[in-house]
Amino acid sequence: MTKNSGRSLTRSKLIVAAWIIGWIVYMIAMMMTVYAGLPSLIFQPIIGAVASSVFVGAALLVGLVFRIPVIAKVWTSSQWWAALLAVGSILVLCLGSAVGLTTVDITETGSSITRLHPAVAFTGYFILIFSIANWPLSPQKQAP
């Protein structure tokens, strides 16, 4: 076993954790917005898996910026950066509607629905997945 195998195993666990959390968040959002009975129970988990995969992939691509030594030094200096991003995105996703980050939609029946603005929802979802997938590893796990 090489020194690097511990690092890749830890990063792999973080990627899987980001995917699982992304899927759970997607399913909660689906149940709160577009639940339509049995078809939703069949198709939405599949769509959630695809959405979570796309967002984890995008988070890993954006996370390549941490290969730049100056940025990597700042990001890995503390796990607080990632923790603050994760907690902040969870707060926005949970409380964004209460603080007015909303949009109003008019349905076919003429009733209005106030919901979290899509840009805020997607951004919060991405930042949550990004912070978990790119969580700074402890120094002993980052050996060359």
Q: What is the pLDDT of residues 73-122, one digit of tens each?
A: 999 888 899 999 999 999 999 998 888 888 877 677 777 777 888 899 99
- Look at 46 and 101; give whichever has higher pLDDT: 46
| 1 has pLDDT over 70 | no
- Look at 140 and 52; give whichever has higher pLDDT: 52
Sequence-ordered alpha helix ranges (H) in the chain: 3-33, 38-62, 69-76, 80-95, 118-133
Query: Which pLDDT does position 109 carry in this prediction?
Result: 76
At residue 41 the predicted structure's pLDDT band, cuts being 50, 70 and 90, is: confident
Domain ranges of the chain: 3-137
Query: Which pLDDT does position 19 carry in this prediction?
Result: 97
Rounded distance between C-alpha atoms, residue 31 and residue 44, angstroms:
9
Strands 102-106 and 112-116: antiparallel
| 23 has pLDDT over 90 | yes
Query: Which pLDDT does position 5 carry in this prediction?
Result: 52
